[in-house]
Structures are given as C-alpha cells and as structure tokens.
Amino acid sequence: MIVAAALPLVAEHGAAVTTGRIARAAGIGEGTVFRVFADKDELLDACTAEATNPEHVLRELASIPLEDPLAARLVQAAEAMRAHLERMGAVTGALYASGHRRGRASGDRPAPGSREASMKATREAVAELIEPDRAALRLEPEKIASIFLGMLFTRPGPASHEAEPSPEELVDVLLYGALAGPGSAA
C-alpha cells in the first residue's frame, strides 16, 4: 500500500519526495513508513522494484483473448508493453535524475539474470499470443515475438521531434511490411 501510494509521487519528484508526503498519500502516519522500511532509500528501492516488476504486464498479456484477430492481439500487447515501459521509465528516470541509485543504501543489487528472466517471460507471453496463427506465419512465433519487442523497445529519444509510431502502425509493419503492396518498388 505504501509503495503503491509512493509510485506516482516518486515519478513526479524523484528522491526529493518526502516520507511525510508519501505517508499522507497512503493515508498513514509517517512513523508507519519507518516500521515497514528501514529508511527512505529502502522505500525508494522498493518503488524501483515495483516499477520494474513485469508481473503486471504479464497478467495483462495473459488476459488478451486468443480468439481476437492476430493484429488486434498484438495492438493490445503493444499498448500494455508501452504502459509498462512508461511507468518504469518515469519512476527510474526520476530517481536517477535526482541522484538515487538502486541498492545504494544496502548494497543490494538486482538478482543476476533477473532482467533476462523478465525479458524471457515477456517474450514467451507474446509468443503465446502469436501461437494460434502459427500455420499462417513465415517465422516461428518466438522469433516474431522477439522482433515485436525489439520494435517496441526502439523509440525516438525525448529530444527527438520524430513522431512515435502508434501501436497499430507498428503491428501493421510487423505483419505486412513497409511496402505499399506486393511487387511495389523498393
């Protein structure tokens, strides 16, 4: 409950957010924060862990109906992944910009392979969304899932004036390519 209340505040204020403000947002006394967390750094580390936790997006991917057309399933997946990436970026970016480094207080580091395990689980979840259409595909669902995620993770930088492709545009290019039609000049 404390971490859930803290996430939007951390995304907005970074490490400058006060434990008093977090406690008010959670509807508890500030002393309760320190009964749960040893110090503010431990609370901020918990916020980072929650923001980067893939479980929420994996549940969203699992809830996409396999009866929907493939393009619709992938658009829903792209929207879920973008929301997850934006949440991660907002929290971790605000903390980094304000000088907080994960695990600084306790020396803890993310478990070895945790990022790889997260990526593997996400790739498998996307491949499951593609699997029902295996017979109509030129590539294996796992390979398509990897390409799809690569397209989602490649975004113009914040200073770029490039328009970011919509989820529908990304899925269209993934499934049908960039050419206007068969035999179009390249």
Positions in the chain whose pLDDT score sits under 70: 102-113, 155-161, 182-186
> What pLDDT score does 106 carry?
41
> What pLDDT score does 69 carry?
97
Tell me the C-alpha to C-alpha distance, in Å, between residue 180 and each of 39, 70, 117: 57, 20, 38
Cβ neighbours of residue 164 under 8 Å, at least 6 residues apart? 155, 156
> What pLDDT score does 101 carry?
73
Lookup: tokens for 124: 């498998």
> What pLDDT score does 105 carry?
41
Superfamily of domain 2-157+164-175, CATH level 4:
Tetracycline Repressor, domain 2 (1.10.357.10)
Contact between residue 129 and residue 66 where contact means Cβ atoms under 8 Å apart: yes
> What pLDDT score does 110 carry?
45
> What pLDDT score does 108 carry?
46
Could you read off the pLDDT of 125-135 as tens digits, one per residue? 999 999 999 99
> What pLDDT score does 158 carry?
58
> What pLDDT score does 160 carry?
60
Burial of 84 (0-12, 13-18, 19+ CB in 10 A): buried
